[in-house]
Chain A
Amino acid sequence: MPNIRVVNLTKKFGNVTALENISLEVHDQEYFSLLGPSGCGKTTLLRLIAGLIEPTSGEVWIGDKRVDKVPPEDREIGFVFQTFALFPHMSVWDNVLYGPKVKNFNLKEAETIGDEVLELVKLHERLDAYPSELSGGMMQRTAVARALAAGAKTLLLDEPLGQLDAKVRNEIRYEIRKMAKDLKLTAIHVTHDQSEAMSISDRIAVMKKGKIVQIGTPQELYMNPNSLFVAHFIGESNFMEGILTRAQDGAVEIELRGGFKVHAVSEKLRDEERVILAVRPEVVTMETGTVERENALAGTVEKITFEGTFMRYEIRLSSQDVVVVNRPSLTEEWIDVGRSVTLSFPPEKTHVFAYPEAGLSEEIAV
């Protein structure tokens, strides 16, 4: 089924630029996510692709057809709304058959399609029910079934799980992905929930303030964030300020606040530059007492939180910075509040970024 391409897409609402010069290609049969905080423009981008709003400039392509002047009903898309937008005056069955009917399919054909999609979403028993009689999960499945029955070749999902309970949400997100994959659809999924995006996407575009910050597979984004924003937004990171004292062959030495000297890896940065070192909580090792290690940081346990699969420790360093450390909760000995500890981390598991001009908190603000 088709790939989707947007080229130099810009959308302005009055004086506000919601999207600026976006270019992006979603491959055929890919499950793609647009991820970002609210107001970043991800829903605007999806609605532009669907044709629900018109771009200020730029192109939208579905397959080899340019569609930015084509009305939504002729784009062969399936759109799943955050509110589901099920027609309240129609039963599940009539909602599902709405697409085939307005497209003038003959009734037999329409009913066959309706049967198929309801089978797919396992809603056959409820086809006489009205939307107000359905649970959130059922409404969600009806919305997907309705989009599929209309002959969608691409599935555009706008926060489709936003209105569901946490447990149902986790189940349904895999169902949707499986359905898209089984039917060989191209899907674009908008969400602000990074764990949702990570768990179901082939690739993710991380957006911020109307621009795309980084596009990559979940692994790429997690392992090699290209910016402080992505390092902060995807997963969790400790950020420590310092000065780059030596850079050679991709290996760097950084003097952190409080005089700690640590090693890390970076290709791009030069000597004497003000930098931020990013370390994920789960790569930090923690030992009691003072231990000689590479990249050792001395501190005291200030707070412990039991989070189920892991223990979350907050360690106050002698520089007064606080570092978060996650350790497995069941396989490791717990360490009490007030104990002195030594933290350490491998140089190759870190990321180094130039200190942002606007300041750290502004850069990572969502």
Chain B
Amino acid sequence: MKRNKVQRSIANGLNTLSSNKIAKYAVYLSALVLFFVLILLPPIFGIIIKWNSIPTVLSQPNIVNGALGAIGNSFWVALLVSALDLVAGIPMAWLITRGKSRWLSVLDTLADIPFIVPTAALGYSLLLFWYKPQGLASLFGGSLISPGWLLVLLLHFTFSYPVVVRVLVGALLDYKMEYERASRTLGAVPFMAFRTVTSPIIKPSLIAAFVLSFARSLSETGATFIVAGLFQNGPVFLQTMKNNFTGGLVSQATYEGATVFASLILIVASCAIFAFIWILGPRFKFPFRGVWPGAERRLSYRKAAGSRNTVTLLVFFGIVLIPALFVALPAFQAVFTPILPAALSGSGIWGSYWQSLLISYLLGATVTVLGFLMGLPMAVLIARRKIGKTPSAVVDILVNVPLIVPSIALGASLSFFWAQSFPGMPELLLLIFAHLSITYPYIVKSMSAAFERVNLDMEEAARTLGAKPFSVFTTIVLPLTKYSILSGAIMAFTRSVSETGATVAVLSANSPFQTAPVVIVNWVKGVVTASSLEIGLGAGLLVLLSFVILFVLRLVTRGKGRY
């Protein structure tokens, strides 16, 4: 009873405050300040601070060429992967949303799996499947695909495919079928209807899917490092530099110079490319002048649709799902060996494994909560254009920046900035800031998108019924958007648990705060000696835990969130 009274008086206080314009703008202002001070500016200043170290590197052509080659590799891999993702993702999304089988909801869930598998475990899984003797290779009596660019390409395809499918499924579900039906009644065969009516309407989602998979591919570090072999892309180059530095192979000046040089080019090039896509994307028109009734008719009906679906499913199971989950095999084998009791008792390498797992999940939870608190006013500000139309739109774009910057470059420049400005800053805090930067855009984007979908009539109705702005927010806006917010939080959480590059960049070599993906990478790369069954079990447990979390959240959110 007493607690109720306290709650009520707090709510009253907040309500009174929420009617106060000054208080309202103070909240928005602090959200903006936090965003600039903690997230946007530190990486930029980090690079400026270390500006002077670039000349050291420019005099070493082998490093400059290595960096440029690696960055070039990053971009062509990203481009190719994103294009392949769209080609494979569109028919999959189509099948999930338009197919009639009741198994499609299972397929829908399965498509999410590679997304929640931490990429380091995914990388190991792919390595096993395509390369190691116990994988697919055993059928061919040798290695099928050795570590190198092809395996990197397959890996990136595997982890970005679910993102593309998810975005496109969402777009196709929101899209009004009437347009397509109208097109059919006017004489278009299904393929033509999709090409001429549906795809132009969902174009923003197609662009978003492309951008997301492109950014994801540019950014991924841990798994790429596992499967890259001698092939280097930007993040692998940066990680190698770091390893060489901690191994005493290069001087600090060379390490810093190379890192700043490569990070700067990666950041500037990504920003330029994404600006280019954002500006030109909406102007890009599909060439829809011509129709080819004969060919499109053949592409539309039974046989063609059947073979299209078959190929789609083969790609999904053969290239995405089975390789992603292949790590379950050694994990399962390990269960019947003494490795399991050793793992459970935490002896040997397992002590640090369990600790890293705990750190990963605690870190994920912490940055998700912090991101939510910091991002909530920001999302309102963006969705309701609280600081004017143009400034709000500018903020909306700026929030994306950490999303498109390769995370290892982000982490490196971030650590330069904080190490320089606050030399005694605890490593843990640095780790939190780095993960916050990476996850913040996911949270803000999903919340602001959800708020935008709340009909303004609802809020106005609540106001006319006597609710103060704070009450309107807690009783109308939040309940209507909670499932979208939750899914944003899940994305942020899984992203944090998966992140390797930024973690490696901010942690010292013997840091006690090694996260699970870092530990797995170290095992696979032989930094810490572990048998293949041990690695399999470690990666498998990581996957299993991710499954449990996804399953629980699916249970919680099932069938809800759409009114």
The answer to whether A and B interact is yes
1/0 contact string of B29-52 vs chain A (CB within 8 Å):
000000000000000000000000
State the Cβ distance, B11 to closest chain A Cβ, in Å.
9
Using CB atoms, name the residue of chain B closest to A86.
Answer: B461
1/0 contact string of A274-296 vs chain B (CB within 8 Å):
00000000000000000000000
**Contact of B458 (CB < 8 Å), options: A51, A52, A78, A85:** A85
Given known contacts A73-B467, A150-B466, A151-B466, A79 and B461 CB-to-CB distance under 8 angstroms: yes
In the complex the two chains form, is A78's CB within 8 Å of B464's CB? yes
Residues of B within 8 A of A88 (CB): 480, 563
B463 touches A (CB below 8 Å): yes
Residues of B within 8 A of A156 (CB): 464
Residues of B within 8 A of A72 (CB): 460, 463-464
B476 touches A (CB below 8 Å): yes
Given known contacts A87-B476, A88-B480, A99 and B466 CB-to-CB distance under 8 angstroms: yes
A268 touches B (CB below 8 Å): no
Residues of B within 8 A of A81 (CB): 457, 460-461
A71 touches B (CB below 8 Å): yes
Residues of B within 8 A of A52 (CB): 460, 463-464
In the complex the two chains form, is B464's CB within 8 Å of A102's CB? no
B471 touches A (CB below 8 Å): yes
State the Cβ distance, A138 to closest chain B Cβ, in Å.
17
State the Cβ distance, B21 to closest chain A Cβ, in Å.
10
Residues of B within 8 A of A153 (CB): none
1/0 contact string of A74-92 vs chain B (CB within 8 Å):
1101110101011111000
State the Cβ distance, A242 to closest chain B Cβ, in Å.
49
In the complex the two chains form, is B457's CB within 8 Å of A83's CB? yes
In the complex the two chains form, is A79's CB within 8 Å of B464's CB? yes
In the complex the two chains form, is A98's CB within 8 Å of B19's CB? no
Using CB atoms, name the residue of chain A closest to B457.
Answer: A85
A103 touches B (CB below 8 Å): yes
Residues of A within 8 A of B471 (CB): 102
1/0 contact string of B433-469 vs chain A (CB within 8 Å):
0000000000000000000000101101111111110
A262 touches B (CB below 8 Å): no
In the complex the two chains form, is B462's CB within 8 Å of A98's CB? yes
Cα–Cα, bound, A51→B479 (Å)? 25
Cα–Cα, bound, A102→B463 (Å)? 10
1/0 contact string of B529-563 vs chain A (CB within 8 Å):
00000000000000000000000000000000001
State the Cβ distance, B461 to closest chain A Cβ, in Å.
4
In the complex the two chains form, is B455's CB within 8 Å of A85's CB? yes
Residues of B within 8 A of A102 (CB): 462, 465-468, 471, 475
Cα–Cα, bound, A86→B19 (Å)? 23
Please tell me the size bucket of the interface on A. 20 to 34
Cα–Cα, bound, A132→B457 (Å)? 16
Cα–Cα, bound, A181→B364 (Å)? 60
Which chain A residues (139-175) contact chain B, with CB distance < 8 Å?
Answer: 146-147, 150-151, 156
Using CB atoms, name the residue of chain B closest to A105.
Answer: B466
Using CB atoms, name the residue of chain A closest to B459.
Answer: A85
- The total of chain B residues at the interface (CB under 8 A) is 21
1/0 contact string of A50-85 vs chain B (CB within 8 Å):
111000000000000000000111110111010101
Using CB atoms, name the residue of chain A closest to B482.
Answer: A89
In the complex the two chains form, is A146's CB within 8 Å of B463's CB? no
Cα–Cα, bound, A79→B464 (Å)? 6
Cα–Cα, bound, A354→B193 (Å)? 56
In the complex the two chains form, is B457's CB within 8 Å of A73's CB? no
Cα–Cα, bound, A50→B466 (Å)? 12
Given known contacts A89-B563, A102-B471, A83 and B464 CB-to-CB distance under 8 angstroms: no
Using CB atoms, name the residue of chain B closest to A82.
Answer: B457
Cα–Cα, bound, A98→B479 (Å)? 14
In the complex the two chains form, is B464's CB within 8 Å of A98's CB? no
Cα–Cα, bound, A102→B471 (Å)? 7
1/0 contact string of A164-193 vs chain B (CB within 8 Å):
000000000000000000000000000000
Residues of A within 8 A of B465 (CB): 73, 78, 98-99, 102, 146-147, 150
Cα–Cα, bound, A18→B465 (Å)? 26
In the complex the two chains form, is B466's CB within 8 Å of A103's CB? yes
Cα–Cα, bound, A73→B472 (Å)? 10
1/0 contact string of B224-246 vs chain A (CB within 8 Å):
00000000000000000000000
Cα–Cα, bound, A96→B19 (Å)? 24
State the Cβ distance, B289 to closest chain A Cβ, in Å.
36
Residues of A within 8 A of B462 (CB): 87, 98, 102
Residues of A within 8 A of B476 (CB): 87
Residues of B within 8 A of A147 (CB): 464-465
Residues of A within 8 A of B480 (CB): 87-89
Which chain A residues (268-326) contact chain B, with CB distance < 8 Å?
Answer: none
Residues of A within 8 A of B468 (CB): 71, 73, 102
Residues of A within 8 A of B479 (CB): 89
**Contact of B460 (CB < 8 Å), options: A79, A99, A146, A151:** A79
Residues of A within 8 A of B458 (CB): 85, 87
Residues of A within 8 A of B8 (CB): 104
Cα–Cα, bound, A346→B88 (Å)? 78
State the Cβ distance, B550 to closest chain A Cβ, in Å.
25
Using CB atoms, name the residue of chain A closest to B479.
Answer: A89
Cα–Cα, bound, A156→B479 (Å)? 27
State the Cβ distance, B547 to closest chain A Cβ, in Å.
30
Residues of B within 8 A of A75 (CB): 464
State the Cβ distance, B298 to closest chain A Cβ, in Å.
42
Cα–Cα, bound, A156→B461 (Å)? 11
Cα–Cα, bound, A103→B462 (Å)? 11
Residues of A within 8 A of B563 (CB): 88-89, 132
Residues of B within 8 A of A51 (CB): 463-464
Cα–Cα, bound, A75→B464 (Å)? 8
Residues of B within 8 A of A50 (CB): 464
Cα–Cα, bound, A51→B463 (Å)? 9
Cα–Cα, bound, A241→B462 (Å)? 52
A51, A85, A88, A146 — most chain B CB neighbours (10 Å):
A85
1/0 contact string of B476-493 vs chain A (CB within 8 Å):
100110000000000000
Cα–Cα, bound, A81→B464 (Å)? 10
Which chain A residues (14-53) contact chain B, with CB distance < 8 Å?
Answer: 50-52
**Contact of A73 (CB < 8 Å), options: B12, B455, B464, B475:** B464
Cα–Cα, bound, A251→B480 (Å)? 66
Residues of A within 8 A of B461 (CB): 79, 81, 85-87, 146
Residues of B within 8 A of A103 (CB): 466
In the complex the two chains form, is B466's CB within 8 Å of A73's CB? yes
1/0 contact string of A83-123 vs chain B (CB within 8 Å):
10111110000000011001110000000000000000000
B463, B466, B468, B475 — most chain A CB neighbours (10 Å):
B466
Cα–Cα, bound, A104→B12 (Å)? 9
Cα–Cα, bound, A7→B457 (Å)? 26
State the Cβ distance, B451 to closest chain A Cβ, in Å.
15
Cα–Cα, bound, A150→B457 (Å)? 17
Residues of A within 8 A of B466 (CB): 73-74, 99, 102-103, 150-151
Residues of B within 8 A of A73 (CB): 463-468
CB pairs A–B below 8 angstroms (24 shown): A50-B464, A51-B463, A71-B463, A73-B463, A78-B465, A81-B457, A85-B457, A85-B458, A85-B460, A87-B461, A87-B462, A87-B476, A87-B480, A89-B480, A98-B467, A98-B475, A102-B467, A102-B468, A102-B471, A102-B475, A104-B8, A132-B563, A150-B465, A156-B464
Report which A residues bind B (CB closer than 8 A).
50-52, 71-75, 77-79, 81, 83, 85-89, 98-99, 102-104, 132, 146-147, 150-151, 156
The 8 closest A-B pairs by CB, nearest first: A88-B563, A85-B457, A79-B464, A99-B465, A85-B461, A102-B467, A150-B465, A72-B463
Known pairs A52-B460, A72-B463, A87-B458 / 14 extra A-B pairs, C-beta < 8 Å: A71-B463, A71-B468, A73-B465, A73-B466, A79-B461, A87-B476, A89-B563, A98-B462, A98-B467, A104-B8, A104-B12, A132-B563, A146-B465, A150-B466
